Amino acid sequence: MNQEIKAQWLTALRSGDYEQGYGHLNVKSLGGVPHFCCLGVLCDLAVKAGVVESYEEGAWTLYGESGEGGGLPPEVQKWAGLKVDGQLPVAAPAMTHEMGETSSLVYFNDAENYTFTQIADLIEEHH
């Protein structure tokens, strides 16, 4: 992973500036407040850096040329130096569940309900 981008991402995740959401990169609540998954925070940083564009479609914010709303756009993946959906390295902890074993940041965000601080700790330790 690109270490400069990693530092920015860790700062953003720990900042308290992002409301955590689940199942989407960035979706607005009924009150209009955006809720980000951990990868959505990275996408927001990529928009601010001019790497990708974003646009709104209903309550969703979509990213990149492919209009990603649930997964990491290829442009952001390449920019950050990440595997698809923030897959952690093999040495990282994995969770076993009915679908098998995973060490995806998406899984920790969406299924295990890790806080952004806990996810930042995983990224810091394993990327």
pLDDT tens per residue, range 23-60: 999 999 988 999 999 999 999 999 999 999 999 999 99
Q: How far apart are CA 105 and CA 125, in angstroms?
A: 13
Q: Is the pLDDT of residue 68 over 70?
A: yes
Q: Where are the domains of the chain?
A: 3-126
What pLDDT, on a 0 to 100 scale, did the predictor assign at position 91?
46
Q: How far apart are CA 124 and CA 127, in angstroms?
A: 6
> Does residue 91 contact residue 126 with C-beta atoms inside 8 Å?
yes
